[in-house]
């Protein structure tokens, strides 16, 4: 069997996780993705397939808040969490299911989750 790349291993983990995690209207799915240049987060209702709230480090709101576009340091990720939670609470979303997207629950992903919990999201 050929050795899998880091990306392929993450994709496999993500598919395995998605078999178990499903967002409902009462408890939508909080999905995160980190690329080489940015960090993205969405709250998704899987029954209708709609994105309810989204935030990223390349959004206009983020750029206005920080004065820079992109970035995925832990501080940047925590600011994305602030934007996402603010939008979610405005829409009345308080409980979510966390989908780490196949990434290890460590570092930036953990910092994002902790900041969301601190600001009022339950998962």
- Kindly state whether residue 16 falls inside one of the protein's structural domains: no
**Does 1 score more than 70 pLDDT?**
no
Which of the 8 DSSP states describes residue 122?
A: B
The parent domain of residue 48 ranges over 25-119
Express each pLDDT in 87-119 by its tens digit.
999 999 999 999 999 999 999 999 999 999 999
**pTM here?**
0.91
Q: What is the pLDDT of residue 71?
A: 85
CATH at residue 85: 3.30.420.100
- Kindly state whether residue 13 falls inside one of the protein's structural domains: no
> How far apart are the two ends of the chain, measured CA to CA in Å?
38
- Kindly state whether residue 58 falls inside one of the protein's structural domains: yes
Beta strands in 1-123 (DSSP E): 29-34, 39-45, 50-56, 97-99
- Kindly state whether residue 14 falls inside one of the protein's structural domains: no
Total domains present in the chain: 1
Express each pLDDT in 32-78 by its tens digit.
999 999 999 999 999 999 999 999 999 999 999 999 998 889 999 99
- Kindly state whether residue 101 falls inside one of the protein's structural domains: yes
Q: What is the pLDDT of residue 75?
A: 95
Q: Are 56 and 40 in contact (CB under 8 A)?
A: yes
- Structural Rg of the chain based on CA atoms: 14
- Kindly state whether residue 67 falls inside one of the protein's structural domains: yes
Q: What is the pLDDT of residue 2?
A: 76
- Kindly state whether residue 8 falls inside one of the protein's structural domains: no
- Kindly state whether residue 53 falls inside one of the protein's structural domains: yes
Task: List strands edge to edge, sheet with 50-56.
Answer: 50-56, 39-45, 29-34, 97-99
């Amino acid at each position: 069997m050929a050795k899998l790349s880091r990306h392929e291993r993450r994709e496999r983990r993500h598919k395995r996780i998605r078999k178990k995690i499903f967002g409902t209207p009462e408890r939508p799915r909080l999905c995160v993705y980190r690329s080489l240049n940015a960090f993205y987060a969405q709250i998704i209702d899987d029954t209708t397939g709609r994105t309810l709230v989204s935030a990223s480090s390349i959004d206009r709101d983020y750029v206005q808040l920080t004065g820079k576009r992109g970035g995925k340091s832990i501080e940047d990720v925590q600011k994305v969490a602030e934007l996402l939670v603010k939008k979610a609470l405005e829409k009345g979303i308080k409980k979510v299911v966390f989908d780490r997207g196949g990434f290890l629950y460590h570092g930036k992903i953990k910092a994002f989750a902790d900041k969301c919990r601190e600001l009022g999201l339950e998962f």
